[in-house]
């Protein structure tokens, strides 16, 4: 049983709004979007189709949830597929800002690559869970402290295909 928290229509409307803001902020400059796998895939795909900017896409793997766990564990990051980001405007897209561990780690790693600018966008920001302060430049939705699935987010590698964000009921 899944309780719908954010409908597919609400998500698409918000992605439209974020795309307009991102285009205004970058003002036709080339951007490299770095998507954090695997949860950001749907957000990344929908957003990039709406951006009328010169784009490059790069992907990294970062995960702190394994299998059936609903609490964050040790962070694993794989960045070996990244292109040279020096002098590029970089926008990191992630599915959810929870404790802040992932984005804080990525900020340090990516700043070392000397991009022209570095911004962060998250589809979801979970209220009351952040341990490290990092303010994303773009936030889709703020949500309560519940374990959510759908629109790229999973539980044990399932439910990513749902067109909405839901709370998985026990």
Catalytic residues, by residue number, are 98
Distance, in Å, from the CA atom of 120 to the CA atom of 37, rounded to the nearest integer, reads 15
13 CB contacts (<8 Å, ≥6 apart)? none
Whether the ω angle into residue 38 lies within 30 degrees of 0, i.e. cis, is yes
Residues 15, 50: contact at Cβ < 8 Å? yes
SS3 letters for 23-48? HHHHCCCCEEEEEEECCCHHHHHHHH
Residues 56, 83: contact at Cβ < 8 Å? yes
With 0-12 / 13-18 / 19 or more C-beta atoms within 10 angstroms meaning exposed / middle / buried, residue 155 is: middle
Element (H, E) at 123: strand 117-126
């Amino acid at each position: 049983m899944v309780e719908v928290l954010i409908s597919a229509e609400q998500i698409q409307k918000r992605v439209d709004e974020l795309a307009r803001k991102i285009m205004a902020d970058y003002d036709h400059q080339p951007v490299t979007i770095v998507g954090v796998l695997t949860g950001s895939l749907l957000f990344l795909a929908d957003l990039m189709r709406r951006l009328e900017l010169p784009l490059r896409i790069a992907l990294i793997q970062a995960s702190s949830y394994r299998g059936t766990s609903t609490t964050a564990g040790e962070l694993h990051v794989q960045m070996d597929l990244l292109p040279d980001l020096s002098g590029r405007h970089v926008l990191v897209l992630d599915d959810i800002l929870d404790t802040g561990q992932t984005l804080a780690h990525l900020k340090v790693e990516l700043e070392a690559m000397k991009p022209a600018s570095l911004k962060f966008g998250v589809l979801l920001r979970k209220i009351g869970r952040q341990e490290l302060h990092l303010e994303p430049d773009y936030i889709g939705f703020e949500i309560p402290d519940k374990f959510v699935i759908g629109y790229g987010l999973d539980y044990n590698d399932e439910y990513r295909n749902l067109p909405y964000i839901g709370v998985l009921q026990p």
